[in-house]
Chains A and B, each alone.
Chain A
Amino acid sequence: MTNSSAVLNQKSFYEEGNTKAKSGLAAWIFSTDHKRIGLMYLSAIAIFFSVAAIIGIFMRLELISTGKDLMDAQTYNTLFTLHGVIMIFLFIIPGIPAVFGNFFLPLQLGARDVSFPRLNLFSFWIYITGAILVLLSLVLPGGPIDTGWTFYIPYSVRSGTNISLAIFAAFVLGFSSILTGINFITTVHRLRAPGMSWFKMPLFVWATYATAWIQIIATPVIAITIVLVIIERLFGVGIFDPSLGGDPILYQHLFWIYSHPAVYIMILPAMGVVSEIIPTFARRTIFGYKAIAISSLAIAFVGYLVWAHHMFTSGMSDTARWIFSLLTFLVALPSGVKVFNWVATMYKGSIDPKPPFLWVMNFIFLFSIGGLTGLVLGSLVTDVHLHDTYFVVAHFHYVMFGGTGTIFFAALYYWFPKIFGKMYNIKTANIGVALFFVAFNLLYFPKFILGYMGMPRRYYDFLPEFESLQFVSTVGSWLMLITLILIIWNLMHGILRGRKSESNPWGGVTLEWHTSSPPPLENFKVIPEVKHEPYDFSQLEDMKND
């Protein structure tokens, strides 16, 4: 694919910024360019992910055999809490929207930036402030928190560790999420390119839009809950702690009224990325465009109705238990709509199995296991047996890591040439995908069996009968470490030494591929006019001649 000379002469956003400082750190940290902000999020998130992954590896080392191997119980408690808090609040919730939403939402809409660029930069700084508060809670006297990432009452009111500070960090991070949500919704409503009606928007935009709504509506609930816990800790007001006359189940309700929709904040954008990658590599328009778009909104809404399935064994009323179990099964419907539509898109397509596509294959397989085991947990009878066991640990790693985490890599590998204008090593990337699949299942599949056998979660020690499966899982964690190093090294090498990429190496047709790679400061020389359906590959020929 050749670029016209006009495009070739254009400066990329790396060469031309919108800050006073022309280069150096200041040109980044004060930049309101959505692409730079997206990349700053990417750097921060990559660091947090690596730290939390290493903590995970250490936890697995402790679990290699019975008894104390590496650390005592209290250290293990703080490690799984930290691992959970970082992975959830600093990696997977902001993850795809903050990095790829920021970078690609305006590009896919044919806009020059988001609606409120300064607010966008502000969100980033709030995010960093929240992260610094998390770090502070580790080192200040009192010690790192040990409640698990769910901060359940009454322990979180009684624990002497730095709970108030750590949950205040979550409070601050929530604001970043809300502001980003407001920004994205406004952008989608106001800044679509001429000709881009709602049903001509790319599906990643639809998914990000639905996610933004959850961010706005659900996040204030956790903010209020956190304030209540802090009040209870500081002033001894009885809200949740039963010994003060409070109701601990109320805490669980409030926590999950946010945190369950938050699960959809994690997965919806990932589903959006899948809906971009599959048509591009199957060279076929997406099957059931409207069904996928609307199922995003449906998932966002139904996601509000199922939170109490995390609480089947907590002592809430029986009526609530069966109602929430029933509602939980409803969520499977829109998710099923998506999976079937993706598979139907590939049917009779001319599939080009490049690394991003292979990552998506990993996703469909791992996410389906995660999703279907969710139904096992959503049934009352089986949940009573499996609640708080390793079955749950396996389930959520399959959904979050196998689902969203995998797609985070897929998105990186898909949009890499667009973001950096370079290419990574395709062969190494393919090996990475294959190794990931093996490592992942080695690491987490034994946990399903362990949970079924009765291994409880959040314990640093276990009974001898669990030993061999625990060992297999730990070996899996080593392979995972090697795989992650390979995957990340390939990307880093691509950034630093990679060969120059064509501007549209995969033959994508959504608007981000209509500009040069990397894009110029304000994305498009002329705002494109949208004449085609979003996945109409007949325009590829015209794009080549442009």
Chain B
Amino acid sequence: MAHTEKKHHITPYSTYIIVWLALVIFTSITVTVAGISLGTYTLLVALFIAAIKSALVINIFMHIKFDESIFKVFLILSGTTLFVIFLLTFFDFLYR
């Protein structure tokens, strides 16, 4: 519990706006791609874009990028669990 008071990182507004714009663009890509028939890949593409979006939100909006590493460990743990859950669901989805 060697908790040292670190200076808080302050993100400039411009970064927030850029990230927000990126999120809007990614969302429109998701919607566009959903209209194109890619078969099984539709879902993979959608998940891939969603993963990038959540990485942006988590790192910038939620400040994880600038925080103590224990929080990164927590997130990686939850993220891995989520990934495994997706993976296992695909054994049903792809082979049904």
Which residues of A are in contact with B by a Cβ distance under 8 Å?
189-190, 192, 213, 216-217, 249, 253, 257, 301, 304-305, 308, 316-320, 323-324
Contact = CB atoms under 8 A, between A and B. Distances in A.
Contact of B84 (A189, A304, A324): A304
**Which residue of B3, B84, B91 has the most chain A CB atoms within 10 A of its CB atom?**
B91
Contact of B85 (A192, A213, A257): A257
Contacts of B78: 216-217
Nearest to A324: B88
Contact of B92 (A189, A305, A316): A316
Interface of B is mostly: helix
A217 B70 contact: no
A217 B81 contact: yes
Nearest to A254: B89
Interface of B: 1, 3, 70, 77-78, 81-82, 84-85, 88-89, 91-96
Contacts of B95: 317-320
Contacts of B94: 317
Contacts of B81: 217, 301, 304
A323 B89 CA distance: 11
Contact of B96 (A190, A305, A317, A323): A317
Given A217-B81, A305-B84, A317 B1 contact: no
**Which residue of B85, B93, B95 has the most chain A CB atoms within 10 A of its CB atom?**
B85
A257 B92 CA distance: 14
A249 B92 contact: yes
Contacts of B70: 189
A323 B1 contact: no
Contact of A317 (B3, B82, B85, B92): B92
Contacts of A308: 88, 92
15 contacts: A189-B1, A189-B70, A192-B1, A213-B77, A216-B78, A217-B81, A249-B92, A304-B81, A308-B88, A318-B95, A319-B91, A320-B95, A320-B96, A323-B91, A324-B88
A443 B84 CA distance: 39
Nearest to B90: A320
